[in-house]
Structure 1
Amino acid sequence: MKGKVLSLCAILVIILAACSSTTSSEEVEIDFYFPVAVGGPIANIVDDLVDEFEEENPNITVNANFGGSYAETMTQVMASVQGGNPPELAVLFSIDLFTLLENDVIEEMTPLFDEAYFDDFYDGFMANSSIGDEVWSIPFQRSTIVLYYNKNAFAEAGLDPDQPPTTWDELVEYGKKLTTDEQWGLEIPSTGYQYWMLQALTLQTEDNIMSYDGKETYFDAPYVKESMDFWMDLSQEHQIMPEGVIEWATVPSDFLSGKTAMMYHTTGNLSNVKENAEFDFGVSFLPANNQYGSPTGGGNIYLFKDVPEENRDAAIKFIEFLTEPERVAQWSIDTGYVATRESAYETDKLKKYVEEFPAALVAREQLEYSDSELATYQNGEVQKILNDNIQSILTGDRTVDEALERAQQQAEEVLEPFQD
């Protein structure tokens, strides 16, 4: 009898070992949606990361789907979700959080990682990644708006190339000296992300344009009107910037070709400018009105519900891979986005890089004066309301007061169902 028991135990051990072996080598495929919204070879970098991960994890295949803009990527992701085939992971705007929660399609991250992991991410980026103590996404390609300036143009205009403007008054003063028949002093893009640019100006003046619970907006506040007035004055009164609409995608091209001496743009374009500028350039904080300020921006990694457990586990492993400090450091070097983890700045590679290229530190240092990007329930609709009304101001169809009061009224109507 004793021999039979031992024999049965031995068989059971063999069976369990076989099951374990099968599980560990089981082939898993996960879908990863990713936007490419700025210049530079971002898609190639992501493909290389996927290849490296698959080499380390031969049983996991990552299908990288490049969705174009953030909005286009969001549309594709939601179509997959509604079609009953949700992706495991997607990089979407950090400000898409309320929309994704409203549709109940993402999984909470808090139980999946330890507290030390979350604590290593900068608070400025976690603000759009969590609600209270609940973490719903992981900061990945994050940014602030910075001022890029052409040092050669500064020197030609009699300005100190190492002293960018630090206030709105100086911005205007410098802009006038830099504006010529062939060159504008400044360009601020006014398509796609015009709400983001207005936010920067309002944070420099007084405060943000929405509440942190996503239920209120302050589009018609006096400090918002003051900020929009200044934006208009740059072209109409001071004549240092083109009037009307300035395309998001063409501003970096104008800067690189010498059509503008300064530009407001995402730090996500830093590597693109570094690679392609045929002149010395500088990067600095956005000039202050009453204080420094910039909204954060960019994308976070979201984990989606209703996927098989083995796929979910593989997706978590891929998140861990993408956010390892060494990899976060390299991503920042390759793209210009801010390294989202404090420990990334302690790596030898990023220490060396910022020592050789101090401009890479500007966006991180500006985080001290940064606040959350516009995020509300029904965010796409609210964002469009503000964008359309800003556009109507810039094209001369409405006054600042008319457009911002109209934007506030329309936003209140959209957010009314979410009021307590």
Structure 2
Amino acid sequence: MSGRIRALGVATAVAVAGLLAGGCGWGGAEPERGRVQPVTFWHSMAGDLGKTMRVIIEKFNALHPRTPVEAVYQGGYDLLAQKIRTSVVAGQPPVMAQMYEAWTAYLNRDRGQEAILDLRPMLAEPGFDREDVYPVLMEDVTFDGQVLAMPFNKSFPVLYYNRDLFLAAGLDPDRPPATWAEFAEYGRKLTRDTNGDGRNDIWGWSFAVDPWLYLCMVLQNGGTFLSEDGRSANFDRPPAVEALEYWIDASSGPRPFALRSTEFEPQNEYVAGKVAMVLTSSVSKAFMKPMIRFDMGMAPIPQGARRASIVAGTNVGIFRKASPEQQRAAWEFIQFFSATENTTFWAIKTNYIPVRRSATKSKVWTEWLKLDPTAGVAISQMESATFEPRFPEWVDCRKVLSQAMTQALQERGNARERLAAANKEINAKLARRHAAR
């Protein structure tokens, strides 16, 4: 599925405004009697993402004045993780918080001292349609049978491309590359020296070292990250090596078409028209679109021997330390936020994916797709979705992979050697993990 952004007019505003004005789906219960008991929610949603989140929170609070959600921004994800750990050690965690899966596993690693509440009893109650939530998202928050969180801000990597540059290179902008072989072919055609000075002025692709996309490619090559028992890594195997060699060839091979950058530079270069394609999160659309002055297209990431795309983003967990009333209110909020109407609104405004199947069948969503067909690109990858390992040590394993990728790209080779060394280091971490269990 590919698409292009069309002009968004009054109808869009009416559709989204109507979504909020409609009461977000249901009237709500009578306010609880007694004292006000705030429900603290630690998060990392800044800027417009935070503003959109607060719209939904304010709607919830109007229906639950005795247990209002108090959203507290804690900085970026690294800082949020640090503050959560510190608060748990001090015995003063928030009522609920955004958290990655590896954090959740860490917080519940010690039997008898689990910090995160098992949500299964609440999920068993009438009123919450668990089957409507995409199965892979529910599987992602299930640890040894316990449901320890619910999906919150989830996204997929997608392909953004400059339709104008496609036309200039003689490529059909309605047929973006569907495979990595096509991606390389397109990239080379798009890479051009426009002023004849011997240097490329336009590149086909710009990238920063990104384990997320690399891991997608490993799976697409038929590989796996770990052995079946989880005791050893597989990054020294051909599927992993070939994935990294693709990046090296793209940026420093005989016919390079990729510009290696850092952090958010690929997005900036794409917005500036210096590169024709970038592969990054669906959420990047919200940041890039206001600055773009060309015809932007979107498509799913290219695929390999098999289809695979990794869903990313955080979930929301409730802390056991909270009072029963606070836990109940936190669960009410999680239900509210993930309700069809609200997850649809969240997806439209932020470009995260809706977490419910019913959202993509709703009238508001179908009307939105008529105005912006690219809105359906990310969610179209759900059929081939999976997720990364979730054990606590995976955070460090990811860093090891990132370092190996960076070194191999800087050296313009040695993918096999660098990944073999990384694999050995990851295996040592896995050995320590299993020895401690």
TM-score range, shorter chain: 0.7 to 0.9
Q: How much does 1:211 deviate?
A: 5.8
Number of the residue aligned with 2:4: none
- Runs of at least 5 residues in structure 1 that lack an aligned partner in the other structure: 1-20
Pick the aligned partner of 1:150 from 152, 162, 181.
162
Instruction: Determine the structure 2 residue equivalent to 1:47.
Output: 54
SS of corresponding position for 1:196: helix
- Equivalent-residue separation in structure 2 for 1:279 and 1:379 (angstroms): 39
Choose the corresponding residue for 1:183, options 202, 205, 218: 202
> Do the aligned partners of 2:245 and 2:413 also contact (CA within 8 Å) in 1?
no
The equivalent position to 1:379 in structure 2, one of 355, 376, 394, is 394
* 2:40 is aligned with 1:31: yes
Residue in 2 that maps onto 1:106 = 116
Which aligned pairs between 1:71-82 and structure 2 lie closer than 5 A? 71-82=78-89
Q: Deviations over 1:163-216 (max 9, x none)?
A: 1011122111111111123221112221xxx22121011122113323687654
The answer to whether 1:201 aligns with 2:217 is: yes
Residue in 2 aligned with 1:223?
239
Match of 2:368 in 1: 353
Alpha carbons 2:31, 2:64 under 8 Å: kept: no
Report if the CA contact (8 A) 1:183-1:261 is conserved: yes
Distance between the aligned counterparts of 1:282 and 1:85, measured in 2? 47
Indicate the residue corresponding to 2:174 in structure 1.
Answer: 162
* 2:226 aligned partner, one-letter code: M
CA 1:356–1:216: 2 relative to 1, 3 Å? farther
The yes-or-no answer on 1:239 pairing with 2:248 is: no
Higher mean Cα deviation, 171-180 or 378-387? Answer: 378-387
RMSD: 2.3
**For the Cα contact (< 8 Å) 2:298–2:374, is it kept in 1?**
yes
Tell me if 1:336 matches 2:345. no
Once residues 132 and 345 of structure 2 are traced to their aligned partners in structure 1, the CA distance between those partners, rounded to angstroms, is 17
CA contact (8 A) 1:33 1:90 kept: yes
Aligned-partner residue type, residue 42 of structure 2: Y
**Separation (CA, whole Å) in 1 of partners of 2:355 and 2:231:** 27
Identical columns (%): 27
Q: Equivalent residue for 2:296?
A: 281
Say how many residue pairs are matched. 393
The match for 1:17 is none
How big is the shift at 1:140? 1.4
Tell me if 1:85 matches 2:92. yes
Which range moved further: 344-353 or 46-55?
46-55
Q: Does 1:128 align with 2:135?
A: no
Amino acid at match of 1:105: A
2:156 is paired with a residue of what secondary structure? strand
Q: Would you say the 8 A contact 1:188–1:197 is kept in 2?
A: no
Query: What amino acid does structure 2 have at the position aligned with 1:222?
Result: P
The one of 370, 375, 390 aligned to 2:385: 370
Pair 214,310 (structure 1): closer, same or farther in 2 beyond 3 Å:
farther
Partners of 1:331 and 1:301 lie apart in 2 by 15
TM-score, normalised relative to structure 1 = 0.87
Shift of 1:159: 0.7
Q: 1:34 to 1:213 in 2, by over 3 A?
A: farther
Q: Which runs of 4+ in 1 moved over 4 A?
A: 211-216
Residues 30 and 319 of structure 1, relative CA distance in 2, 3 Å threshold: same
- Per the alignment, in what secondary structure is the counterpart of residue 259 of structure 2? coil
Which letter maps to 2:259? P
1:245-256 correspondence to structure 2 within 5 Å = 246-256=261-271
Structure number with larger C-alpha Rg = 1
One-letter code aligned to 1:51: E
Query: Structure 1 residues 407, 119: closer, same or farther in 2, change over 3 A?
Result: same
2:153 aligns with 141
SS at match of 1:265: strand
Deviations 1:276-310 (A, max 9, x none): 32221111121122123221111111111211222
- 1:365-396 superposed Cα distances (whole Å, 9 cap, x missing partner): 11212221243332222222222222222222
